[in-house]
Amino acid sequence: MSGAFGPSDSSFGPAGGAGRPLAGRLALVTGGSRGIGRAVVEALTAEGATVLFTFKQAVTEARAVAGQTGATALQLDLADPAAVEHLAAEIQAEFGPVALLVNNGGHALEKLLLDTAIAEWDELMAVHLRAPYQLSRALLPGMIRLGWGRIVNIASIWGMVGAAGEVAYSAAKAGQIGLTKALAQEVGSHGITVNAVAPGAIATAMLSDLQGEDLDRWLERTPVGRLGTAAEVASVVAFLCRPEASFITGQVWSPNGGVVI
């Protein structure tokens, strides 16, 4: 597959180990080279899944994740609809049906609505809404044939309550939550669950600007008194992907330290 590399620049990583909850399941994680996405790749491979993950530009980080986990990295711009469709088709033609889809890839935009350009708005909607729609639509037939599947959309607390200065991002994440709730009702009878994970403030590069007095004020708002970790979010994702989570669908799980209750 063009643009793919695994732990030794091979086209595919090792199969999941027997006896682990997700052994034999093929997973696709978008935005898996760093932050929450990287932690999800690590968690799912530890659970036995065979993982493909996408990245946009972070080649060095993607190679490191592939080398560490045995997952396979695939370069993709989620804002390019043709590229998304092409990659989904290539994956299924080469590797078979994807059983686990984690729509994580994306970025924030801290701007007032009056300062947000149409192009910026459109890009956020393309990455956070259109790409999950495209990938879900492309991969669902394979899940239906399997009679089993998991889709997890990584939303945000701002999709639940909104954030001044992040209107476009909040709208996109609220859209993911709506997508989650509606799609869960369409595909539940096929053994497929669809859930959202809406993190609060997580200690990743996306939150690197939260420092000093701003950080202190945030921690004062947080009942547990600290930022979350990417591994804590990934553990929620991994649970929702396991067989024992089969009665949970259409829900929003929010690891946020109690900021939003």
* Tens digit of each residue's pLDDT (9 = 90 or more) over 117-156: 999 999 999 999 999 999 999 999 999 999 999 999 999 9
Task: State mean pLDDT over 249-256.
Answer: 98
* Tens digit of each residue's pLDDT (9 = 90 or more) over 173-188: 999 999 999 999 999 9
What pLDDT does 6 receive?
79
* Per-residue pLDDT band at 37 (split at 50, 70, 90): very high
What pLDDT does 15 receive?
43
Q: Residue 12: is its pLDDT beyond 90?
A: no
Please give the positions annotated as active site: 169
What pLDDT does 13 receive?
43
Reduced to 3 states (helix: H, G, I; strand: E, B; else coil), residue 53 is: strand
Token pair listed for 194: 């669809």
Q: Residue 14: is its pLDDT beyond 50?
A: no
Q: Residue 221: is its pLDDT beyond 60?
A: yes
Task: State mean pLDDT over 80-89.
Answer: 98
CA distance 116 to 139: 33
CA distance 154 to 233: 9
CA distance 221 to 224: 9
What pLDDT does 45 receive?
98
* Tens digit of each residue's pLDDT (9 = 90 or more) over 157-215: 999 999 999 999 999 999 999 999 999 999 999 999 999 999 999 988 766 677 777 88
What pLDDT does 2 receive?
66
Q: Residue 96: is its pLDDT beyond 80?
A: yes
Task: For the chain, give the mean pLDDT.
Answer: 93
Cβ(130)–Cβ(105) below 8 Å: no
